């Protein structure tokens, strides 16, 4: 019994030991597996996924500042120096968190005094709620060089203040090229809503008018980035940026304009409300386009731009208006060129046929008076155009050509439609019709309306560019090219030509060579023996053209003054020819300035002279009217 009992105790004791040992092994295995799993997780985090997390952490801490791209430059046809370029300006910035606590007010006072700006402006840009921000905030753009120099010399007195350079648009030719080039300005919130998907952002500089607006996307560059690493509080953790992506400048534009002819035309027009167009008829290239009054686009992009813009917008002379393409007027006697072409082409009158020009022509209530009190008597069509007989052309339009054919020719010559010139805001003018008058005035067309159109008055309205196109069409044997300003697009870095504008035919009017020769000959007689003979005196080129004097109202003593012409008249080389259209509005005292200005312009172009040289040369020759 005792042995059995003893054995049982030993067996019990061994079983107990065995169970404890098994549990220990299990526990050890669990701990080992846990430890191995932990090591594996650490290995995965640090080695396998380490690169991913490091990249993600870096991307979260990387911040960038925009480096503004220079806008593409604009050149005239000589492409030797920009007529719209860029200069370096400075933007003053402030990092509010780098200003010691309690010193913001003192710093703002000193900085405002240095920069000549109100303290309130700095408080608006950097309100107390932003004092903890570790980011640069623009407090002044277009800072002057001397201010930045002083700031650099005393930078220890201005903690948190720094500056960056930014490109600013500049126009060396200033007001002479204003309507062609236009101007730029900061994008508005309304513009951004439209252009956001095209890559524009809240600080974009946008073309607001002219070529700057028309080709804004070509001129826009690609902004660069200055990238640094910051901690969770926005503080820089490196002494310098880890990466700089340089900006890419926009494309450069080469225009068809000749800056010398542009200056000549601007000075010839002078301070008279009106415009000048000079173009090459065989390509449609615009050599000059002047409108007065003008504006200085340099004043519309800078610290004083808002006040300058407000002043220009309230000027009742409308200086922003490009009168060459955005204003339309009665063409007056210049429209008689079209009647001459229509009547000859349709065989409604022969070159030797006679119409008697009485002192007065009456149709219903409409009375047309000849500008020569006793009338001209018997005239053929060349004599009538040379002397600009009102009665002859009133008779020709009403009794020979007729309303429908007359308006059809006006439309075929491009009146009443956009030319498609590469400028924003072009006006189509008006070619009235029976339906147009009924819709506009709720009255029927009468013969008096046809008479008015025949002498370039009444409801008919044309732009100076359209009249220049009319002359170009006759010079080009009935072919009309689209007028354009862009000649080439070039890479903004290396100047490689990216594209050229080829001449584009937009209309072909079927005029016979006989008709064309007779019309051109009649225009030549205007200068040789007709209304322009006393004023078109340049010996440097043979000119063919037409004067025009448009009545504003019966009570006014002022009239619109027109002159449209081309030269040389006698060349066989179409590349030598230019068309000039000058329009002077009736708001000026009438002085028949349009042909006088054209005389100086033609003389300057074909004698290679400036305005002063051309005027002086004509004066010395006793040829200045």
Of residues 175 and 401, more confidence is placed in 401
Strand partners, 289: 277
The predicted structure's pLDDT at residue 9: 45
Least confidently predicted of 31-35, 49-53, 188-192, 585-589: 49-53
330-388: pLDDT as tens digits? 999 999 999 999 999 999 999 999 999 999 999 988 899 998 999 999 999 999 999 99
Of residues 312 and 292, more confidence is placed in 292
The predicted structure's pLDDT at residue 370: 93
Of residues 22 and 99, more confidence is placed in 99
Give yes or no for residue 276 having a pLDDT over 70.
yes
The predicted structure's pLDDT at residue 27: 62
Report the distance separating Cα 22 and Cα 95, nearest Å.
68
The predicted structure's pLDDT at residue 60: 44
pLDDT band of 39, cuts 50, 70, 90: low
Give yes or no for residue 288 having a pLDDT over 80.
yes
Give yes or no for residue 263 having a pLDDT over 50.
yes
The helix/strand/coil state of 213 is helix
pLDDT band of 255, cuts 50, 70, 90: very high
Report the distance separating Cα 73 and Cα 181, nearest Å.
11
Of residues 232 and 223, more confidence is placed in 223
Give yes or no for residue 596 having a pLDDT over 80.
yes
Give yes or no for residue 215 having a pLDDT over 80.
yes
Segment 386-415 mean pLDDT: 97
- What's 27's DSSP letter? H
Task: Say if residues 611 and 620 touch (Cβ distance below 8 Å).
Answer: no
Report the distance separating Cα 359 and Cα 552, nearest Å.
21
Report the distance separating Cα 602 and Cα 623, nearest Å.
13
The predicted structure's pLDDT at residue 220: 94
Task: Say if residues 464 and 323 touch (Cβ distance below 8 Å).
Answer: yes
Of residues 96 and 464, more confidence is placed in 464
pLDDT band of 47, cuts 50, 70, 90: low
Tell me which residue of 215, 146, 232, 128 sits closest to 180, measured CA to CA: 215
The predicted structure's pLDDT at residue 140: 84
The predicted structure's pLDDT at residue 428: 97
Give yes or no for residue 52 having a pLDDT over 70.
no
- Give the strand pairing for 377-379 and 479-481: unpaired
The predicted structure's pLDDT at residue 316: 85
Task: Say if residues 564 and 471 touch (Cβ distance below 8 Å).
Answer: yes
Least confidently predicted of 46-55, 326-335, 410-419, 608-617: 46-55
Which tokens is 378 given? 């018997």
Task: Report the mean per-residue pLDDT for the chain.
Answer: 88
Give yes or no for residue 588 having a pLDDT over 50.
yes
Report the distance separating Cα 603 and Cα 540, nearest Å.
6
Segment 200-209 mean pLDDT: 87
Report the distance separating Cα 605 and Cα 597, nearest Å.
12
Cβ burial of 110 (10 Å; 0-12, 13-18, 19+) is: middle
Which tokens is 26 given? 């299990």
Give the burial string for 142-165 (b: 16+ CB within 10 Å, else e). ebeeebbeebeeeeeebebbebbe
Report the distance separating Cα 376 and Cα 380, nearest Å.
11
Segment 563-576 mean pLDDT: 95
Least confidently predicted of 195-199, 308-312, 335-339: 308-312
The predicted structure's pLDDT at residue 423: 98
The predicted structure's pLDDT at residue 187: 86
The predicted structure's pLDDT at residue 1: 46
Segment 440-458 mean pLDDT: 95
Cβ burial of 401 (10 Å; 0-12, 13-18, 19+) is: buried
Which tokens is 618 given? 């004509």
Segment 556-583 mean pLDDT: 92
Of residues 509 and 35, more confidence is placed in 509
Q: How many CB atoms lie within 10 A of CB 277?
A: 27
Least confidently predicted of 171-175, 209-213, 403-407, 412-416: 171-175
Give yes or no for residue 58 having a pLDDT over 50.
no
- Give the strand pairing for 74-75 and 252-255: parallel
Segment 113-140 mean pLDDT: 87
Report the distance separating Cα 546 and Cα 471, nearest Å.
10
pLDDT band of 587, cuts 50, 70, 90: confident
CA-to-CA dists, residue 71 to 65, 90, 177, 300, angstroms: 18, 16, 18, 16
Q: Please compute, for residue 411, the number of CA atoms within 13 A of its CA located in the half-sphere on the CB side.
A: 9
Of residues 49 and 215, more confidence is placed in 215
The predicted structure's pLDDT at residue 545: 97
The predicted structure's pLDDT at residue 541: 97
Q: What are phi and psi of 478, to 5 degrees?
A: 90, 0
Segment 163-191 mean pLDDT: 89
Give yes or no for residue 105 having a pLDDT over 80.
yes
């Amino acid at each position: 019994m005792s042995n059995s009992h003893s054995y049982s105790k030993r067996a019990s004791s061994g079983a107990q030991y065995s169970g404890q040992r098994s549990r220990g092994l299990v526990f050890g295995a669990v701990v080992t597996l846990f430890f191995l799993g932990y090591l594996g997780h650490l290995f995965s985090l640090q080695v396998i996924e380490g690169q991913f997390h490091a990249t993600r952490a870096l991307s979260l801490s990387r911040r960038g500042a925009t480096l503004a791209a220079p806008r593409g430059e604009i050149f005239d046809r000589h492409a030797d120096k920009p007529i719209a370029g860029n200069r370096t300006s400075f933007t003053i910035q402030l990092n509010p968190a780098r200003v010691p606590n309690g010193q913001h007010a003192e710093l703002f006072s000193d900085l405002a005094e240095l920069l000549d700006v109100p303290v309130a402006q700095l408080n608006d840009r950097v309100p107390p709620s932003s004092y903890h921000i570790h980011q640069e905030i623009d407090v002044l753009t277009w800072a002057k060089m001397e201010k930045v120099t002083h700031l650099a010399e005393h930078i220890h007195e201005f903690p948190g203040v720094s500056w960056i350079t930014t490109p600013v648009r500049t126009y060396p030719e200033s007001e002479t090229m204003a309507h062609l080039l236009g101007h730029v300005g900061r994008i508005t919130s309304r513009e951004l809503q439209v252009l956001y998907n095209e890559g524009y952002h809240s600080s974009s500089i946008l073309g607001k008018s002219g070529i700057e607006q028309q080709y804004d996307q070509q001129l826009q560059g690609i902004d660069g980035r200055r990238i640094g690493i910051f901690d969770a509080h926005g503080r820089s953790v490196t002494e310098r940026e880890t990466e700089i992506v340089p900006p890419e400048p926009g494309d450069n534009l080469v225009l068809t304009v000749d800056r010398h002819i542009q200056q000549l035309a601007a000075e010839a027009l002078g301070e008279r409300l009106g415009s000048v167009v000079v173009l090459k008829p065989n390509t449609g290239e615009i050599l000059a386009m002047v409108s007065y009054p003008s504006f200085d686009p340099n004043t519309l992009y800078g610290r004083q731009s808002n006040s300058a813009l407000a002043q220009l917008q309230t000027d009742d002379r409308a200086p922003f208006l490009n009168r060459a393409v955005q204003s339309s007027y009665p063409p007056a006697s210049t429209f008689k060129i079209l009647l001459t072409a229509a009547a000859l082409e349709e065989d409604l009158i022969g070159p030797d046929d006679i119409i008697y020009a009485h002192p007065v022509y009456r149709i219903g209530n409409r009375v047309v008076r000849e500008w020569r009190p006793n009338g001209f008597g018997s005239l053929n069509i060349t004599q009538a155009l040379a002397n600009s007989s009102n009665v002859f052309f009133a008779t020709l339009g009403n009794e020979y050509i007729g309303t429908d054919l007359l308006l059809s020719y006006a439309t075929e010559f491009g009146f009443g439609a956009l030319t498609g010139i590469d400028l924003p805001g072009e006006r189509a003018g008006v070619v009235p019709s029976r339906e147009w008058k009924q819709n506009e005035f709720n009255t029927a067309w009468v013969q008096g309306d046809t008479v008015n159109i025949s002498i370039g008055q009444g409801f008919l309205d044309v732009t100076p560019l359209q009249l220049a196109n009319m002359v170009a069409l006759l010079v080009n044997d009935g072919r009309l090219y689209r007028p354009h300003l862009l000649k080439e697009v070039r890479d903004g870095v290396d100047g490689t030509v990216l594209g050229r504008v080829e001449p584009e035919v937009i209309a072909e009017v079927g005029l016979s060579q006989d008709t064309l020769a007779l019309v051109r000959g009649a225009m030549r007689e205007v200068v040789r023996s007709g209304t322009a003979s006393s004023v078109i005196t340049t010996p440097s080129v043979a000119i063919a053209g037409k004067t025009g004097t448009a009545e504003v109202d019966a009570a006014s003593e002022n009239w619109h003054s027109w002159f449209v012409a081309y030269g040389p008249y006698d060349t066989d080389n179409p590349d030598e020819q230019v068309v000039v259209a000058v329009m002077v509005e009736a708001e000026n005292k009438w002085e028949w300035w349009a042909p006088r200005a054209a005389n100086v312009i033609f003389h300057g172009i074909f004698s290679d002279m400036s305005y002063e040289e051309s005027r002086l040369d004509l004066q010395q020759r006793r040829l200045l009217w």
